[in-house]
Structure 1
Amino acid sequence: EEKTLPGSNSSKGREILPQNQVFAVGSVATFCCVVPDGERLSEMYVDFAVSSMNVSQISRQRYVLKVHLEPNWENCVDVRCITNGTKGKYGACAYVGYPPDDRDLRCETRDLESVQCSWEKGRDTNLALKSPTVYRLNGRTCDHEGTCSHETEPGEKTWTLTAQNQLGKVELHDTADLLERVHMYAPEEVTVSHVNSRNVSLQWSWKVERYGNLSLTCEVSVRDGERIAESTHFGLGLNSAVVVNLIPNWEYHVKVRCGAASHFWKWSDWSVMKPFRTAGDVPDALNIWMQRRRNRTVILWKEPLANQSHGDVTEYVVSWSRTSERSQQKQTRVPLSHQNHTLILDRREQHVVMVTAKNQNGSSPPSTIITCSISTCPDETSVKTSWIEGSSRSFSLSWPDSPAASCGYVVDWCPVAQDAPLDWLKLPPNQTSALLTSENFRDGLRYSLSIYACTEAAPVLLEKREGYVRETRIEGQLFKPLTLKQRDMDVEISWDRIPLREQTASIRGYRLYYWENLNQIFNVSTDDPEATSLTARHLRGALYTFTVTAQTAVGECGDTSITSTLGSSGDDLIQSVLISLGAVFGLLFIVTFLCFRHWTCIKRKVYPPIPKPVVTDQWFSSPVKSSRPYLPPDQSLHGEGVVEVPQLLYEHGAPVISHTKPEEETPDDKPVKSRGRPARTFPNPPYKLMLKDHPSSMTEPDIQNQTHTMTTAQYKPQSHMKGVVPSQNQVDSGGFISCHPGYILVPEPS
């Protein structure tokens, strides 16, 4: 838009026209600079302009500048003229902005007595200093931008809002019944009363008394840490509510907001947050499971969380009995530091086990599990184990639906080779898949996973899986000890079975590398993960290096090497012969040494000595001299070539009568002095004293004759002698014991 502005004809004037004019963004404005007489225009420009500007002279003292007004300029734009005079710099301010752009008028009531209208403000006009927007509601000026209110009568009304500045004007309209546009104030003075373990009562008041006549709906928000639970309540003039399903012994924060129920317009603001804590209660039922370890059953339970214990848990109680004798329960108390208990149960019968937790408020409801018997549970070893691969430190598994799972499924897992605690997850019957995540999962650790069907009786094992959440490379020197055995020109490399705790990745086979020099490397492999040896064949006598590696999903790893110089097959034969000869000679030496050490004992066992009794003439001296017819136990005969004489025996029960008077002592009674080793007597079981029947009046010559007869006959071994059974008559009336001539040799008189 262009228009002509009045100018000045004074040659002494100095000014820029127009002064303090308001322009719309995007318009083209022409500014005129009037130069006084005697001065000359040097420059005319606009501040913040980016591009150069063309100035044209329309008369001797007047110059004009056309400017396109940009939207991003400041509210007041300076236009300047510079002349060669002493006061050669002067200018004018131009205001650039927008007309009003407000929209969306909405009117409502908060107190049921006045109307309050609000609208959405448009873009900034940039004219707040020179031409601010003026708002009027139904002709009444509004005090605040964005909202306007004044008293009104109930019923349907139409409200008109006008917004105007120097660049334009806009009108907004809204028609409504204020009873359908009730925007309530927030509830005040919220209080919590009747605080129980699982519910509380709330009360509040209203700022406007007329709210008591409205049908209201109120929303109660209960915050539990990061969780928020909301409940809705209805009523005429509602000012109270009961909050249920709370956690005992738990900290909460509650707030309330309300709105008209019949013609809901919008919620009120939230009330001030009110904190409270519920009363304590008995703990929730424990999450229990069991694990079989040979003949033992381990009952496990998870430590109740803070929102499950409802107080400080003091102890656990484990009770068990046979399913057929539930009234005869056994019970034990488990300290707070333990979350398991081991039972030794009779596997021939089912048992029911119950676990409860205690706090200051009482015992939790019992958690029950039934153990299986040998007859009711299948052998778990009959369930095949399949492989599972983890990803992102988790296991994703699924299984077919089981009709036996009346109460759901249980998935448990634990490391295969470590004595780590078992963990488990219980699922509803309609869920046959699970994503197992745990902060205890470790890379390079093999896990065993089992899927059970939860039944009304004992759990039933459905599937078993094994795998890693992530396999890692096995460190070197895995195969220790690595042993080498040469057979002809073949070499067998063997190792011990690799424990699972050292398998940070699943071993799928083994490979043996061997070489004489690095230019030619040979290998042999097996796909059997249970193998413990590999054989390199057709080698030659040289220095070889053997390296065994494990084949896994992350590559070959666990390298272990051994170096050995191989001998030829002829050398092996010679070595075997020498070893055999050495073993034979060693055995002979040991036998010879033992025989030498124990020769006396061996000789006595193999060739026992045969005693040859010898008696002297005094044995058969006259009875007048009262010589004893037997050898005393403490005396023995000594002489040249005399051997030990065995003890003479007589028949049991026969009396031995001595004819020596007690008061007399003959020279024969004196002990004989020993010339050599001391005399000793010993039993000689093969011999028996043989008694000969002869008259008691036998004279000495008769005895000598008999003795002579025995002397002429040579001594015969015991084995050729015939035993003579003595009779009672063999003892004469005088009590003398007669010796059989075949037993005792009487030396011939010299």
Structure 2
Amino acid sequence: MAAAWMSVLVVMAVVNAAEGGDDRRPCASVHASSSVVTVGSPVTVTCVVDDDCPALAGHQVQLRLGDRVLPGVIPVANGSARAYRLLIPAFNHSRATLTCCLRDAPSHIIAGLEIQAGYPPPALRNLSCQANLSAHESLTCKWEASLPDSHLPTKYTLHTHIGDLKWSHAYELPPGVRSYTIPRAGFVFFSEMEIYVKGVNALGETSSARLALEPVSSAKFDPPKIVKLQAWRPGCLRLKWEFSQFQDWMRDFVSLEVRLKTESSGSWTERPILDRAMPQRYVYQCGLLHGTRYVAQIRVRYQQSPWSEWSGGRPAFTLETAPTGALHTWMRVTGHLLHNQLQMLLFWKPSARFRANGRNLSYVVSALRTLNKRGKLCATAGSHCTFHVPRKARKVYLVALNAAGRSSPTSVPIYRPIAGETIPEVRAAAAGNGSVLVRWEDVPSPALIDYIVEWRPLLNNDLSLVRFETARRNLSTLIVTGPLEPYKPYGISVYPRFKEGIGPPRTVHAYSLQKAPSEVPKIRIKKNWQYHVELSWDEIPLDRRNGIIQSYKLFYWDETRRVHVATGDPQERKVVLTGLNSWSVYDAVLMVSTYGGSRNGSMVHFDIKEMDPVSSVIIVLATCAFLCLLIIFLVKTCSSEHNRLKVRFWPDVPDPANSSIKSWTSESTQDIRSSWDFEEPNPIYLSHLSFLELPRKPGKEEDVTAWLNNAEDTSDLGESICGSPFLPGLASSNGDSVPYATVIFPAPHPHEYLRSESTQPLLGSEESPKCYQNVDASEGSQCFFGPCRPEEEDNAAAAIQWEDFPFLRALAMNDTQ
């Protein structure tokens, strides 16, 4: 811009010098319809060149807007001068320079004109004024200007007019400000005045709406003070107040608002507004709780002025009366004592209708409805109590006391623990705002009364921190509020309460808010063997977990930087890594995660130990010893089984050639059997007759068959088997078939005779069995085995008696023919 104007000045100087006169009149000029226009409006520009200027004779001109040549220049007749006119349809520059230049020398500017574009002053709105009644009294007014900005220099002035005094003032405002403070001399507190703001620029002027106000009614008072707050009547407080030191001159009625809150409440209760309040006068607040500590605050305003800030709080107690209402209770058995005593733990809290109505509240638990020393179980100022009751007790009574009296007793039934149904599952999750949502599965029992939800901090065993809530039997969710401390563990137990007692609880751990653990345990190498390694770590302390541990992840890698991940069980806290290389060194990092975040531990290094020679020798020796023991055991087992199988298939049979029925006693036959074969019947008791026959000569088959057919029933044997007519040929010592018999007499059972045939031959070297006879006085003797000669009968009869063979009495065979 400066260079363009310098060009104009140079050209004009050249032109004037060429004219050679003292006349400094320019040779050219630029005219516009207006040098200040509204943005976007059309502008007509005319460049006039005098023909009397020799330096410009024969030269054509052009119009430029800044650095841009404007097309559409039209020559027009203008007497002795040349004129060039141009119409700009929309001027959109806030500020620009129009120049008239020589066409053949564009840098030679012969005339120029600056044009500004903008808007009229924006509309002024939201005018407000507020008086300050503090040490520096004043009246401050504020307003807002609408968009867009005018882009033009605008002058603002604040005008005031006091009608009663006929005062008018105009305060010129600095450019760009949107507020102004009227000094104390320019207004009167209790006189109404009119105020407005006006803005003026080259395109017009605008004014705000006129504001009429009384300065004191716009003043924001300083916070007042409560001089005295005291009990007046039961449930009422009396309050006395005053203005601050800068407004103590105020004597008119003002509006006063009071708010109260109890010591245990976190929210204020606003009382009805008093419209005609005066300082140093009492204000009464009734309908309050008895014997309760209240904190009061007040604030004031004059007519429609803004409210002052709240005053400082002042406490006071209302008059006391006896406690009213019932208490919520929760009692459970904590132990069984001697002498038929139960140890009980009782918790309580105020119900919605309970009113302490006094200070220094205490509680008494009594076994009797009428409070006296004989039935008193415990007394405390807290919210829980431990005491003993007889095993047969059914209820106790809880009474609240203060200095004015005691409440009606609350009956507390005693529910004993029972082995009833347990709640299948309980889950807990954070619900936000320091609370936890508890869910449980219903207990399908018609005897169910309700559920008791109990929660306590796990890092503090103080029973005064235990809280409880009762849920109806048709509910399965409850929001536990506290608020609970974030990152701290809580134990939440749900008890099902039945008509006959309290069932076992189900307990879970919960956090209202979780984050990453505060520490990560160190990794220890527990076992290290070829290609494997077992890593373990300790449990994180409960106060350092900051949440429920969800997983342990171990990241490990070797020189190749290939990362592997192994997940450890949260309960076992160990992990076994397999497939490792013995020639590599590994790095590992443990990451512990909760629902609120994860934390990585420090890095550890480990490698795999190769098997040393000593370990190899020990393993080989242990393997060989085991194999030897196994072989010895198998050999011994096979040997024992061989004898057992031999006895199974080839039972021990007495040798008839070298035995006597008389000598078949328990002592003589027990040695024959193996000592370990107790599964077989005792062979000393013979239970059947066995006849062994070898192939016989032709012609004898009929007799043998006849004997076999008639020998099915041997229950009454009356004659000697040897020499029987049914067994021809058996008496011959030269026969090919040798029969023998085995007789077993079970001790506790009657005699049994069973026939058995065996094809096992007798030993060839043995002699034929001797002849044994049944001796009978009347019948004579009959031969049992072998040939029977007449000369031997008398001697045998004389030598052998029935008393000598008691077992043969059952073998006496009588002739039935």
- Structure 2 length as normaliser, TM-score? 0.38
Compute the TM-score of the two structures, normalised by the length of structure 1: 0.41
